Structure 1
Amino acid sequence: MHRRPPGSSLTAVRDLYREVARGATARPLVAASWQRSIEHDVKPGRLEAPYTENLNLDSPLTRAALPVLNALHEQLADDPVSTMITDRNGVVLTRRVSHDGLTTRLNSVQLAPGHVFSERYVGTNGIGTALASGHSVTIAGAEHYAEALRAFHCAAVPILHPIRRTLLGAFNLTTTRQESGGMLMALARSVAGQIEAEIAALASRRERALFQDYMEACSSVRPGAVLALNRDVVMMNEQLSAAVTGPDLYTLLDCAREVADDLRFEGTRTLALPSGRVAELRVSRSRREESDAGAVFRVRLAGRPQREPAPAAGGTRPGLGLVGTSEPWRRSVGDAEAALLSGAWLHLAGEAGVGKGTLVKALHRRHAAGAPLATLEPPPSEAPSAVEPWLRDLGDLLDRPSDVIVLRDVHLLSDRLRRRLRDALASRDRSATGQLIMTSQPSMVAPDDPLEDLCDVSVEVPPLRRRPGDIEQLVRFFLLKYRPSGESSCSSEALATLQGCPWPGNVRQLESVIRDLARRPSGRIIRAEHLPPECRVSSHKALTAIEALERDAILRGLLNRNSNVQRTAQDLGISRATIYRKMRRYGIVPSSLA
């Protein structure tokens, strides 16, 4: 049974279905899509297709599709038919139109590259419904949910990866002609099949390129352990397969896959393995024919024996009491746990509020509860009267080999004090000292940080925005913490809103929001309208790391200044016109923050 959509009566829903049907029985696929559109609260009379500037035109999908679309474009000549490719989120990546009149009409409804045509924003349409249903669809005329689209006839086909069978995007044909839906669909399926075949051919060429680079690495003068992989292929030489097995191998492969997916990364990555050893991965990209075929890793193993067995690959030991199952979180916990068990000096980097302190306490409680845990804050000033006792205290703590010492917020130390700390610690005999754990915020540290090489292992604790799958578990955990009776719950709409927030304060901010909501005097179900203003950021644009930091700074400033835009602009050192422009870009609505 469908729930009543927000702001709609059952009569209004029936009227919408009647409009779809036009006197006939609506197709089940269209009726289901209209119901989803109503639940997304899409307005039929107002077309709002969000726009993103950061299109990924160097993906296997676009590289495979463009030659096919160009050939089809020549065949269609001056026919009023448009061909489009979208990604799996409904973002139009490329469009071909050979008829000026149709170009104008498509632009008038924002059906152009960069705009998002998923059902969540536009309602029932060829692109969005094909992606939402996973089936080939034709959406003709009045079957469109948005009134502005009802002059168009569309046929869309999902495009799947030929090997993994995962959804890559969709191919869409749009016309204004009252043509046979069957003919449009036959053409759309044929083109989608050609694109999938080209993706398969590209994958084969990528595998050959990766294999060639792998063989060159293996045949070098001193090859050592070599690994090569992309999303479809894994290759390793005999030295690696003999040296790394079991949980160590699974952890190594997980890390290598993550690195291979980051097309910009080249250099060295250090990884703590479950056995207690440390793996150093020297990474080089396999680039042939102006495309990325994967990555080749030269692996060097080092380390000392662990005190007890480490956790299974990619996961954490039971009993840690930590919430979250997302891959970035599990990997950071597993790497930190392996480092603690091996006795390595550990650097935990992460934004404020991500849970670095919680992670350290959980690992200590589980694995080193018998050893004292000491925490040292940065000195209150740079005066010798504060610095010298602070350095002596740290030295005294490290002189006890059984202790675990947490040096918090080292990003707050001045360059001068960082150099003094490095000189004091670098000369120490690690076998006769306590285990040191440093924590810092990565954005606060310069690239030439004097403390960079002081620790054996560096682990990044991911921000909450990179763990959207963990938000539901965290919400339930905090609700139970602040309402032990278990009588509170969170509606699906509220949860979706929470999962879409940037969370500049990370887990600490989410806990504060849920604590305040759980303490409301009445109401057991948290609904979207109950959420505070800080959860109401409506940007759907893909942001770079710098843009995300800028958005979060503006959001924090507005919250601290009670939504006073002018005072926030003054605090940030920018003009009022600039902050308004950036707020529009990042979807920060002043009225929702009041």
Structure 2
Amino acid sequence: MENRRLSPGKPRLMASWQRSERYGVSLDEVRPVFIGSVDTGSLLYECGSEVLTGLQATLANEPVSMMITDSAGLVLARLCGDDSINRSLDRVHLAPGFYFSERNAGTNGLGLALADRAPTLVRAEEHYCTGLRGYTCAAVPVLDPLTGELAGSVNLTTWSDSSSDLLLALAQAAAGNTTALMLARSAGRRMRPVPRGEVFHVYADRFEQADGGRCASRSWNAAVAEAHTALAAGRVVAVVGEPGAGKTALASLAHRQARPRERVLSARPPAPDDVDAWLTLWTPELEKDDTCVIVSGVDKLPAWAAGELVRLFTSARREGARPQPFVLTAEDFAALPSALVALVDTVVEAPALRHRPDDILPLARHFAQRERGRAISFTAAASQALTEYHWPENVKQLKRVARTAAARADVVDLRHLPTQVFSSGTHRLSRLQALERDEIVRCLTEPGATVVRAAAELGMSRATIYRKMAHYEIKVPNR
């Protein structure tokens, strides 16, 4: 890489340039991938277009092009009333239907914002490709307000010689308004909290009663055994699986079996702005021989933070000593930052809870007991409902359900379980539909309830009740 191209003191940009070089991006011209069609039916497209249309009206006479991209850097929409900048952006392929991630176009505003999941301003000379030096780009990632997953970005691009002082602030406002509008149109459900980057010690005495220690299914124990074998041999393990499946619990249990006397620290990913403080908090533990660190959700980390982890992990491997133990977790190995992939020796998958029906009731009883401080029982009907539910949020959701039910009764029956346990429907419901579904479930889970009694209480015919049960995919044991 040419040293003349970037001044020191900008580590995020330098890391992005280094990635661009590894990707083999051209220094002279942009060569993005063209897909030809974009998804104009997504909630991000709908809400982002509405927000940017309003912003465009206030910037009618300014040479600012406003864009929406998906999480992979595909440009979904571009709004601009200035013909000259539109023609210029067409020449560098910054247009709908083209991918403009770092892999495709090198260091640029929207590509770096997506890679680091952080607001980004890239000025003229800071672009990796000389073909983009005529522009200044401000981009801000947009997170799905319900899942917290990266949905895409809002990107504002102008000429490099134009004033850019307010460009990033405008992009941040537009991204924030897009997220708020997405939430408002998502059936009024609650926004997922921002990650806090917690770091905690998994104590041995507490771990004997921890989530994973209660599992007895064949698939869970096979995964634990696989991780144990790898850790005992000094290999670096990546545990992958769906959110809430118990990846950290699996890694902790496997490490306890391999080295019971060592401490286990778990570091959960923080918000992008808190990465520096998060790294400072726990990385000194890597120098201690008696500590294993589990870094959770590394697929959610900014790209530069993944590179810093590689440096820290590598330097912690002392010459002549066994590798300093650490474990990574992610939803999918393919989503692991490329900088970390080379460190991984063994990949272990934490099975989803729906594939481990034998673990559901033992875990439910365990969570309920922790909530109340004594043993809590479940009726046969409640046990059947829990076992037959598909648990889309896995163990995390089961924990929430069991604790809520245990707070209501010593003997948990159908009426103590939340509505979601009886409905396997995946389509989005309006508030009115959700209210109707909940009332039907409430009537069907009362003691001695029948479809006939539920129909009478709700003022519906029995045929209507059956039709609505099918529509909402409601399944109540013995009803």
- TM-score bin (small chain): 0.3 to 0.5
TM-score, length-scaled by structure 1: 0.35
TM-score, length-scaled by structure 2: 0.43
Which is higher, the Rg of structure 1 or of structure 2? 1
The structure whose RCO (Cα within 8 Å, separation 6+) is larger is: 2
